[in-house]
Amino acid sequence: MSKKITITSWNINSVRARIGIVEDFLKQEAPDILCLQETKVADDLFPRDKFEEWGYHHMAINGQKMHHGVATLSKIPFTDVEKFDWQANGEARHIGVTLPSGVRLENVYIPAGGDVADRELNPKFGQKLDFFARMTEWSKTLKSPTIVTGDFNVAPLPSDVWNHKQLLKVVSHTPIEVETMDILKAAGNWTDIGRKFIEDPERLFTWWSYRAKDRLASDRGRRLDHMWVTPELVDKVVSHHISEYCRDWEKPSDHIPITSEFNF
């Protein structure tokens, strides 16, 4: 018997600082599973009690004091919790679980990569490319149907950014990042759910800088957040949407939630 479940991914930019808008979102959209990135909290200080109160009794947390961090909060039980160090430096950037359907759900926070798109001048950019390379090798070995979601920190298409030409030398939209992401995508024969349902060249953004005084007027967004599936799951995806209204809440994250519905 098939069952529909909804999965949301959201770079929350500090789960404790923004616990109020997390609550508002969960009351409004109530996904079955919430994948958070950039939680910025050590595991022992994660607000577990709040998620318990909201019905998310199953938690897989990989946190860090003040930086990075991922968490998967679920109303549905899961097993086989794994943490991969694709950064190869101990940073908390991945948590993976197996859902009752046997589907793997991988929650990832790929490094931003600093400001200069040159690994010789900027080691952070090299770390970002190496992170993608390790994910690419992992993708080649997958045996289970898999969903990978999170903040990938790359906006691959011209319609994923507010101005393609102006951003070609800006980290997150440079040709080498797009090429590296495409290699990862090919390695697992992944399907980009966002662009399956909201087709290119339609505008699709999930992040806006805090620097913009009037986000709506300038609309200088980028699509940095993604949800991909392996071939076995393409026909299981029912819908996909973004929650852009969350960006205009008081003290918002600079990212918005993305949500997909599956029929397992």
What is the model's pLDDT at position 216? 84
Identify the pLDDT of residue 3.
87
State how far the Cα of 248 lies from the Cα of 231, in Å rounded to an integer.
35
Residue 212: per-residue pLDDT: 81
Q: Name the band, by pLDDT with cuts 50, 70 and 90, for residue 16.
A: very high
Q: What predicted TM-score, i.e. pTM, was given to this entire model?
A: 0.97
Three-state helix/strand/coil letters over 32-98? CEEEEECCCCCHHHCCHHHHHHCCCCEEEEECCCCCCCEEEEECCCCEEEECCCCCCCCCCCEEEEE
Q: What tokens were used for 168?
A: 């070609």
- The residue-averaged pLDDT of 260-264 equals 97
Residues near 42 by beta carbon (within 8 Å), at least 6 away in sequence: 63, 64, 65
Q: Which amino acid is at 254?
A: D
State mean pLDDT over 157-182. 98
3-state secondary structure of 184: helix
pLDDT score for 217: 87
* pLDDT at position 33: 98
Nearest to 72 by CA among 109, 50, 97, 92: 97
C-alpha closest to that of 68 among 78, 83, 53, 80: 83
What is the model's pLDDT at position 147? 98
Residue-range domain boundaries for the chain: 7-263
The 10s digit of each residue's pLDDT in 68-108 is 999 999 999 999 999 999 999 999 999 999 999 999 999 99
Strand ranges, E, within 185-244: 191-192, 207-208, 221-222, 225-229, 237-242
Question: Which tokens is 96 given?
Answer: 């993976």
Residue 134, H or E segment: helix 123-139
Query: What are the backbone dihedrals phi and psi of residue 69, each rounded to the nearest 5 degrees, phi first?
Result: 95, 140
Placement of tokens 């995508």 in the chain: 185
Whether the predicted pLDDT of 143 surpasses 80: yes
- What is the CATH code of the structural domain delimited by 7-263? 3.60.10.10
Residue 5 φ then ψ, to 5° = -135, 150
pLDDT at position 1 over 80: no
What pLDDT is stored for residue 213 in this prediction?
Answer: 78
38: left (phi over 0), alpha (psi -120 to 50) or beta: left
Give the C-alpha separation, 130 to 91, whole Å: 14
